[in-house]
Amino acid sequence: MESLMPSVFRSTTLARILALGAVILLCVGVDQYTKRLAQAALPAAGPLTFLYDTVTLVYAENPGAFLGMGSHLAEPLRFLLFTVVAGMTLCLGGVILLRTTVRPPLQDGGLALILGGGLGNLIDRISQQGYVVDFLRLGIGPLHTGIFNIADAAITTGIICLGLSALWPRRKT
């Protein structure tokens, strides 16, 4: 009887979809919550530093991509690239994630992190008139990152997971 059921209803596939959905929703939820906190508290407070300037919370509105890349582009081109193309890419990524069922867990997790982070930033682009809220800067001594957000961290972590999964030897079954 199990072979007659669509694969989405089989327990392992359903568990996989639920786990990946949870990762995506957690990324979006934490990202949006922290951005709203940053919007409410940081513009008036100014930069807040912790752990001897290792972590700085500072409010920034970023019309570009990660670390402001592309912020110099004309607004219609930014809308096309960072909203329309990004939205279509996220849809394609979601289809790939759901339709390809045989993939190492590290790849699945990486793709889910990328989709969750991308969706978090896309929500900002749509709701914040084309920009995303950034508020985190990390540093050690004279070295500092640009200002970023939780969605950017999820995307970066997802890319690292995909890179590691490409290097990890696959088990033969």
* Positions marked active-site: 134, 152
User: Which pair of tokens denotes residue 161?
Assistant: 């997971």
CA distances from 84 to 114, 122, 126 (A): 17, 9, 10
Q: Is 144 helix (H, G, I), strand (E, B) or coil?
A: strand
List of residues 6+ apart from 96 with CB closer than 8 A: 111
CA atoms in the 13 A half-sphere facing the CB of 44 = 4
The helix-helix angle for 105-127 and 11-45 (nearest 10°) equals 40
